Structure 1
């Protein structure tokens, strides 16, 4: 019986890899944090206690979770809500309303979204309200069962909180904070933002109704903890269908940490960013190299993934340019050096290019002005150059001031990798004399 059971639980190598990639890709793409969290214990405890007072004791609260992008604000909130809902004393009728400043661009759209998420479209019907406050108060009144103790607690989650501060008169924020201070339905307003100066954006009447509770997040883990995060994110769970494959995969992951190459790659990554989402991108690139003939990630996979991730996208664009466009970029480089970063126009670039042609006596590079202008415009479309801001649009395109969006290192490095680049063009690029 045990043999039959173990046979049923074992999968082919192809099936194991397919299942493994499905699990890990979902984790990396949706940034589902797997494993122990570091550096957010006190913030987690603070937020949990705050929400518990709203959900269990009927208190209304407001708070801001502030931290740079990728510091784990949504992760912290998601985990806290999950733990909150698993508590025995928490009511089953807790309601959550999730708003995002990128989607709800004004208060009218936000109110419609609140109505939809609270499933109160039929209650509102065709009623006409005198003000935003009346409409919101009616929605919350509709949730009441009786007294304060038996009312439905509502958690308002405002992602990209700073964008709501740009709404006209900040009506939504004013009313949410006002309700969170009154003895009405228990409400918790939690804002998530990456702006440290977010309170300066609030009007006085809004700021006076905010509790001024702030939970700051920073990636406060060290490199040894970062290595543990790396191992946890790449490990397969215990419930993986094929136990043998899961064990071998996790052992291979453990052995990666013993490699000096892998340690150097992760140290370089850690020094540039502690963002777990960025680590997910690195692991996703390494995971894409796993096949049936190469079933486990090794040090070379991570090294290649790090190289691809650190690749300069603008330098890659240069590899696909024509020789004429490369010559114009080099002319701009020299103008940038001569005039100490001052903007240039098409006439200046063409004049610099003509000097190179005359010096080399090359008829092969002698293009007509419309052709050169077309190449110049193509560089603008590729966003390798951009027009200076605040200038009149009526200026002729030959005299419109432009700015180069590449530095000298990017240009020289791209020319070294440029296929079949003419020798005189390469020499022109590295020469300091224009």
Structure 2
């Protein structure tokens, strides 16, 4: 039965005022699911092209993305052999840019064969060859390791490799590790496949550490040999790295096979973060979550209005700017938005600046010692003593110096215990040393007593002050305030 106009008016008022009617509870869950799905697949997010908000870094990444699209299209559509290097700091979106380019060319009738290798996992050419063979079998259904190669592998007198699957356990899925001498033959198979091939090398600089750089040489030499219009279906080699001197790591024969294309990915700007945040929060929700088209239109309008109010809030903009100033890593933005979205509920269905700030504080710089306020009285006294020593000009302290400050404090305060749980002040200090709160700055020596060993306190004065404030002990507050 359709809802009456008066009832719809009341529901709209409730939506705007903050309370969420029962009929929209499932809508909120669907919206949260859509946002979380978008955060996991950020390469699928399409931003609105606003030329006025773009700056030099945005234009650089736009140009890099276009060049990468053209390079991969040349390989897939014309059978070219290409190679390039995506260069940029960590967290700038190199992988996301590549995934977006791959999604464009994979939507056609003949998607390419994509082989993904990682320099952190495939630490030698044998492991890389095995991974290439495994991925080829999964995507093409054919094995490119001959029976002679597998027999030769098993007949080798080398010690068994723990990374090799036991063929007796599962002969259908096991892949033997080939000898490095078969590397050129395996790589030469790639241009002869029925589809174009794209090899992605994460941590490209780590592959340069392989013996003789044989894998890089074979890949780049094969890509260079591909000619458009011939029987080749095309091969592209795309490397991702953060090292600006990666080219200098390559041997001369490998460097001569590289095309020299270096596509630079610049760190994203705060304007890009704002536009990306809006695009993620306003992601489209499917009609399956709604039983009425008017409810769907009402929810979209209200949600987008609330998101815009959230993004226009000065506190939200300040939190976003502070987070961006700490790190340019987009994974940080993903973590902060995820924590903000999962806290939404029918009682508090709209994102707020306070939720965003709380999430940012959790995921940004975590305190090194969040448990300081739970330390015993004597331990807090030792930390305050180190603050007094620092105020007096002693950046390096000994236990004897701290004990002198502590003893003076005990004499002036009748409430100060000299033992905690049966342990002395010396045992408390040893506990702080074991927790790396006090770190020795000198090598151990047999002719130096323990109480005269030099230490530095790694806890800052502000952290000590927060611990004292949380503890609520007035004598400790007064003693700390004397250290001016």
The answer to whether the superposition gives a TM-score over 0.5 is: yes
The answer on whether the counterparts of 1:412 and 1:430 sit within 8 Å (CA) in structure 2 is: no
Residues 1:63 and 1:142: Cα distance change in structure 2 (over 3 Å):
closer
Residue of structure 2 in register with 1:180 after alignment: 223
**Normalising by structure 1, what TM-score?**
0.79
Matched, 1:194 2:248: no
Q: What is the aligned partner in structure 2 of residue 330 from structure 1?
A: 384
Q: Distance in 2 between matches of 1:196 and 1:72?
A: 16
Corresponding position of 1:96: 114
Give 1:328 shift.
Answer: 3.4
| Counterpart pick for 2:69 among 26, 33, 48 | 48
Change (3 A) 1:144 1:107: closer
The 2-side partners of 1:179 and 1:374 are apart by: 67
Which of 328, 337, 349 aligns to 2:399? It is: 349
Contact 1:35 1:233 in 2 (8 A): no
1:254 aligned residue: 308
| Residues 55-105 of structure 1: CA deviation (Å, up to 9, x unaligned) | 2333222211111122110110001111122356xx44x211111222223
CA distance in 2, matches of 1:183, 1:215: 21
Distance 1:383 1:97, change over 3 A: farther
Unaligned runs of 5+ in 1: 4-9
Q: Is the CA contact (8 Å cut-off) linking 1:327 and 1:353 kept in structure 2?
A: no
Which position in structure 2 is the counterpart of 1:25?
A: 36
- The match for 1:7 is none
1:291 CA displacement: 1.1
Report the Cα distance in structure 2 between the residues aligned to 1:432 and 1:200, rounded to whole angstroms: 53
Distance in 1 (alpha carbons) for counterparts of 2:401 and 2:44: 56
Distance 2:268 2:33 in 1: 30
1:6-405 equivalences in 2 (<5 Å): 12-29=23-40, 31=42, 34-36=45-47, 39=58, 40-87=61-108, 91-92=110-111, 94-119=112-137, 123-125=145-147, 126-128=150-152, 134-143=181-190, 145=192, 152-183=195-226, 186-221=234-269, 223=271, 225-240=272-287, 241-242=289-290, 243=296, 244-310=298-364, 312-334=366-388, 341-342=395-396, 348-361=398-411, 364-367=416-419, 372=425, 375-376=428-429, 378-379=431-432, 382-386=435-439, 398=450, 403-405=456-458
Q: Find the aligned partners of 1:200 and 1:395 in 2 and give their Cα distance.
A: 50
Pairs aligned (count): 412
Q: How many Å separate the matches in 2 of 1:141 and 1:235?
A: 47
CA contact (8 A) 1:31 1:277 kept: no
2-structure distance, mates of 1:351, 1:82: 65
Distance between the aligned counterparts of 2:180 and 2:190, measured in 1?
Answer: 16
Residue 61 of structure 1 contacts residue 181 of structure 1 at CA under 8 Å; is this kept in 2?
Answer: yes
Q: Gaps spanning 5+ residues in structure 2: where?
A: 4-20, 49-53, 157-177, 291-295
Change (3 A) 1:73 1:394: farther
Determine the C-alpha separation between the residues in 2 that align with 1:310 and 1:183: 47
Distance 1:373 1:360 in 2: 15
Change (3 A) 1:387 1:274: same
Distance 2:242 2:341 in 1: 30
What is the alpha-carbon distance in structure 1 between the residues aligned to residue 127 and residue 445 of structure 2?
Answer: 35
Give 1 or 2 for the bigger CA radius of gyration. 2
Residue 226 of structure 1: how far off its partner (Å): 3.5
